[in-house]
């Protein structure tokens, strides 16, 4: 089953282009450029993109056998190491592709939004690399919890525009960037950071990210002679997910699992309803957000509800339309884990494998523990679905999350966290 979009940018009933009239010429210009340069490799665009991904980005990233996790779960666990990509997350695949495309289109200015700061950082790096002026919009809540990336963006020469509207997270940052783009369409390209937004963004971002599954497919064959039984990835907007799944979608025997942020663990309170979360695939309904019809967190009136996750990169009320469609078609399973489980998984990978994961990626790892760990929830069907050889997309590294982890670990009862209190104020 291929989920390639049609010319109108629809994935089943999702997707489309719900944008102000003023943006339509820019979107049509982008669609044309995407088809010529990316799909048809006009002027050798894709050759240059791949060369830069290799020499600047450090691709291919390894597919690593995680020995200790494999022992713990009695399955063979492989990590697709996107944390080792330049900048520390999968985001560079897309940012580099879009900034290069903007150059080919003759654009002179880049704008982008960022949540966890990883996409902003990757865009700032790609813009410096390709000599383009760059402005990043970031919500003030995220500026507070992802400070290392704020400094990285500035150091790479990007201007940073704080967004104070709403909760000051990704949703508001995207809205502000759309506004900037609508005002400056002639010379500006908006580097959308996930498989969201109006067509052709969801499809184009998936194509730039699909290098993950293209490599993982080949590396699986080299490492264990066949394809994996399952691929597991965390889902915020869903770009690492779609990147990790894209080249496996037609392999019906490979199970694809998207792990959303259950936030406060989806506990249902009699009065308050479902606790705050970011699991739009599992708990959302159909609505329009940021130019596309998709699954969104909304109230009974169709108003977008504030999302919550301990991880800034998953803290979003929507999800990519293609992923929503694949879930409806039962090609992808949507599951979720909560904040505490993600924090535990963060510490587990750090201690057992010597890899500090991004809090986003820790959600994918936490799902393994939920289904296969010593205190597994006894869901035999989920355990069967995972099979013997499991590829987990390690979408990023956790350096950006250290402050949040120290603070949150201190507030909660995370059983496997080291005691850091004696070092809190320095020695
Ligand atoms: C490391 C990492 N993983 C995952 C995500 C979630 O984004 P997406 O769902 O588009 O992959 C982010 C977002 O910032 C991120 O930084």
pLDDT tens for 264-283 read 855 445 455 556 889 999 99
- Tell me phi and psi for residue 176, to 5 degrees: -65, -40
Whether 213 is catalytic: no
What's the structural domain count of the chain?
A: 2
Q: What is the pLDDT of residue 426?
A: 59
Out of 173, 205, 237, pick the residue that ends a domain.
Answer: 205
Distance 246 CA to ligand 1 centre (A): 16
pTM above 0.85, yes or no: yes
For residue 42, being part of any structural domain is answered with: yes
Pocket test for ligand 1, best of 85, 86, 90, 193 (most atoms within 8 A of CB): 90
For residue 4, being part of any structural domain is answered with: no
Instruction: Tell me the pLDDT tens digit for each residue of 226-241.
Output: 999 999 999 999 999 9
Domain membership of residue 29 as a residue range: 22-56+91-205
Q: What is the pLDDT of residue 425?
A: 64
Q: Do 27 and 78 have their domain in common?
A: no
- Range with the poorest average pLDDT among 3-7, 325-329, 417-421: 3-7
Q: What is the pLDDT of residue 422?
A: 75
pLDDT bracket for residue 34 (50, 70, 90): very high
Residue 319 CB-half CA count within 13 A: 34
Q: Do 299 and 401 have their domain in common?
A: yes
CATH number, domain containing residue 50: 3.40.50.1100
Q: Do 226 and 95 have their domain in common?
A: no
Q: What is the pLDDT of residue 380?
A: 86
For residue 158, being part of any structural domain is answered with: yes
The larger pLDDT score, comparing residue 147 to residue 345, is at 345
For residue 338, being part of any structural domain is answered with: yes
Pocket test for ligand 1, best of 240, 311, 334, 362 (most atoms within 8 A of CB): 240
Catalytic residue among 194, 213, 395, 408: 395
Out of 185, 205, 225, pick the residue that ends a domain.
Answer: 205
Q: Do 320 and 335 have their domain in common?
A: yes
For residue 11, being part of any structural domain is answered with: no
For residue 344, being part of any structural domain is answered with: yes
Q: Do 122 and 81 have their domain in common?
A: no
Mean pLDDT of the 244-269 span: 88
Q: What is the pLDDT of residue 340?
A: 94
Q: Do 304 and 220 have their domain in common?
A: yes
Answer yes or no: is pLDDT of 1 > 50. Answer: no
Ligand 1 neighbour 404 (Cβ under 6 A):
no
Pocket test for ligand 1, best of 145, 194, 202, 210 (most atoms within 8 A of CB): 194
Distance 74 CA to ligand 1 centre (A): 28
Q: Do 241 and 372 have their domain in common?
A: yes
Q: What is the pLDDT of residue 418?
A: 93
Distance 60 CA to ligand 1 centre (A): 19
Query: Percent of the chain, pLDDT > 90?
Result: 83
Q: What is the pLDDT of residue 258?
A: 98
Instruction: Tell me the pLDDT tens digit for each residue of 56-94.
Output: 999 999 999 999 999 999 999 999 999 999 999 999 999
Instruction: Tell me the pLDDT tens digit for each residue of 278-337.
Output: 999 999 999 999 999 999 999 889 899 888 899 989 999 999 999 999 999 999 999 999
Q: Do 264 and 323 have their domain in common?
A: yes
Q: Do 215 and 111 have their domain in common?
A: no
For residue 418, being part of any structural domain is answered with: no
Residue 137 CB-half CA count within 13 A: 25
Q: Quick check: 201 and 320 in contact, CB under 8 A?
A: no
b/e for 296-305, b at 16 or more Cβ within 10 A?
bbbeeeeebb
Give the chain's mean pLDDT.
Answer: 93
Q: What is the pLDDT of residue 271?
A: 55
Q: Do 266 and 198 have their domain in common?
A: no
Q: Do 186 and 45 have their domain in common?
A: yes
**Closest-lying ligand 1 atom to the alpha carbon of residue 89:** 1
pLDDT bracket for residue 357 (50, 70, 90): very high
Out of 205, 227, 254, pick the residue that ends a domain.
Answer: 205
Between CA 131 and CA 133 the distance in angstroms is 7
Ligand 1 neighbour 320 (Cβ under 6 A):
no
Answer yes or no: is pLDDT of 3 > 90. Answer: no
For residue 378, being part of any structural domain is answered with: yes
Instruction: Tell me the pLDDT tens digit for each residue of 167-213.
Output: 898 989 999 999 999 999 999 999 999 999 999 999 999 999 999 99
pLDDT bracket for residue 424 (50, 70, 90): low
Whether 91 is catalytic: yes
Catalytic residue among 91, 107, 295, 400: 91
Q: Do 303 and 390 have their domain in common?
A: yes
Give first-to-last CA distance, the chain, whole Å: 58
pLDDT bracket for residue 410 (50, 70, 90): confident
Between CA 191 and CA 137 the distance in angstroms is 11
């Amino acid at each position: 089953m291929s989920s390639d979009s049609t010319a109108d940018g629809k994935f089943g009933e999702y997707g489309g282009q719900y944008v102000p009239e003023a943006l339509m010429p820019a979107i049509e210009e982008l669609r044309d450029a995407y088809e010529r340069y990316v799909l048809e490799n006009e002027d050798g665009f894709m050759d240059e993109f791949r060369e830069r991904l290799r020499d600047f980005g450090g691709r291919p990233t390894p597919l690593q056998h995680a020995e200790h996790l494999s022992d713990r779960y009695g399955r063979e666990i492989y990590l697709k190491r996107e944390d080792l990509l330049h900048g520390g997350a999968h985001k560079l695949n897309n940012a580099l592709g879009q900034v290069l495309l903007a150059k080919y289109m003759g654009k002179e200015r880049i704008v982008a939004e960022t949540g966890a700061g990883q996409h902003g950082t990757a865009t700032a790096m790609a813009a410096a690399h390709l000599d383009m002026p760059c402005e990043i919009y970031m919500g003030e809540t995220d500026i507070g919890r992802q400070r290392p990336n704020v400094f990285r963006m500035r150091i790479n020469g990007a201007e940073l525009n704080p967004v104070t509207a709403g909760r000051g997270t990704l949703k508001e940052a995207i809205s502000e960037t759309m506004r900037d783009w609508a005002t400056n369409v002639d010379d500006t390209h908006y580097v959308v950071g996930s498989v969201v937004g109006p067509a052709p963004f969801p499809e184009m971002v998936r194509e730039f990210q699909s290098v993950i599954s293209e490599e993982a497919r080949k590396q699986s064959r080299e490492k264990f002679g066949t394809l994996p039984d399952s691929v597991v990835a965390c889902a915020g907007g869903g770009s690492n997910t779609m990147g990790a799944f894209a080249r496996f979608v037609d392999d019906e025997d490979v199970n694809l699992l998207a792990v959303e942020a259950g936030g406060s663990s989806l506990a249902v309170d009699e009065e308050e309803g479902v606790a705050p979360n970011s699991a739009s695939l599992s708990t959302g309904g159909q609505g329009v957000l940021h130019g596309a019809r998709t699954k969104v967190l909304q109230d009974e009136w169709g108003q977008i509800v504030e999302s919550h996750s301990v991880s800034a990169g998953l803290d979003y009320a929507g999800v990519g339309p293609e992923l929503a469609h694949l879930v409806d078609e039962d090609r992808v399973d949507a599951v979720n884990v909560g904040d505490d489980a993600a924090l535990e998984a963060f510490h587990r990978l750090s201690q057992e494998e010597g890899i500090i994961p991004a809090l986003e990626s820790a959600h994918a790892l936490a799902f393994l523990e939920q289904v296969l760990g010593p205190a597994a929830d006894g869901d035999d069907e989920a355990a069967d679905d995972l099979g013997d050889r499991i590829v987990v997309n390690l979408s990023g590294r956790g350096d950006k999350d250290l402050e949040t982890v120290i603070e949150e670990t201190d507030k909660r009862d995370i059983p496997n966290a080291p005691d850091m209190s004696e070092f809190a104020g320095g020695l």
